Amino acid sequence: MKTMRLQGKIALITGASSGIGAATALAFAAEGARLILTARRTAKLAEVAARALAHGAAAVHSIEMDVRERHAVQHAIDALPPEWAEIDILVNNAGLSRGLEKLYTGRIDDWEEMIDTNVKGLLYVARAVVPGMVVRQHGHIVTLGSMAGEMVYPNGAVYCATKAAALAINDGLREDLLGTPVRVTAIDPGLAETEFSTVRFHGDAGRAANVYKGLAPLVAEDIADAILWAVTRPDHVNIARITLSTVHQANSLLVHREP
């Protein structure tokens, strides 16, 4: 019989309605986790919740939540039923990119959305969840970053800056938690074919498809597998950072495309 590595664990995953968040929910479900799934799109979130139960999740609690709304985030965590309140794993996944323009021609609304989601949202969720982990002396925070946080690429300055900030927040949190058993991990993927590019280009599916032309990108399940591996290490082992990419990518600037 398969050992359920997350049996009895409560995992909160933000941005769980699609992509990496949804794939992580299903990976955790197959290991028997109890899942708190949050997202803005309730219909899609309900679909993921149903699939997670079918994959073996012990239970699922879904919350409509926009990580950009500070008070709503805090209220959602404070209002969790007692049986869901002791979160063991936080996957701070909610994030997005908007636009691919030069900084001096970029849309300020796009900047605001990226900063509010990728930086401030990350902070709001961590601030709401981590204190309970410290009190209980147990927990693991996983921050979804990007290879883009290591090296800026043309026309992506603001998105890259938000992911550099996510890495700095992640590493600073690990330092702040030194002396507690709470673990902190950054997961930094390269090119991954999810809704990411479609969202970046405001629904332009053709332009989004060109991002992955001539190469075999990562898929959401690849990243979920890395997250699952990190959170199932022995309690004394902290995986500080995992950077993963397709073999067609060396870094944010260098990508090989087949003819």
* Cβ within 8 Å of residue 50, ≥6 positions away: none
147: DSSP letter: G
Rounded to whole angstroms, the Cα distance separating 138 from 183 reads: 8
Predicted pLDDT of residue 3: 83
- 159 given a catalytic annotation: yes
64: DSSP letter: E
Predicted pLDDT of residue 1: 63
Q: Which of 205, 106, 123 is nearest to 166 (CA)?
A: 123
Predicted pLDDT of residue 232: 98
Predicted pLDDT of residue 199: 72
Domain residue ranges in the chain: 10-244
Report the 10 Å Cβ neighbour count for 103. 12
Q: How many CA atoms lie within 13 A of 193 on its CB side?
A: 15
Q: Round the CA-based radius of gyration of the chain to a whole number and report it.
A: 18
Per-residue pLDDT of the chain (259 residues; tens, 9 = 90+): 678 999 999 999 999 999 999 999 999 999 999 999 999 999 999 999 999 999 999 999 999 999 999 999 999 999 999 999 999 999 999 999 999 999 999 999 999 999 999 999 999 999 999 999 999 999 999 999 999 999 999 999 999 999 999 999 999 999 999 999 999 999 999 999 887 767 777 777 778 678 888 999 999 999 999 999 999 999 999 999 999 999 999 999 999 999 8
CA angle 112, 171, 243 (to 5 degrees): 85
Domain 10-244 CATH superfamily: NAD(P)-binding Rossmann-like Domain (3.40.50.720)
Find the catalytic residue in 104, 124, 153, 159.
159
Query: What tokens does 173 get?
Result: 């949190």
Phi then psi for residue 192, to 5 deg, are: -135, 130
Predicted model pTM: 0.95
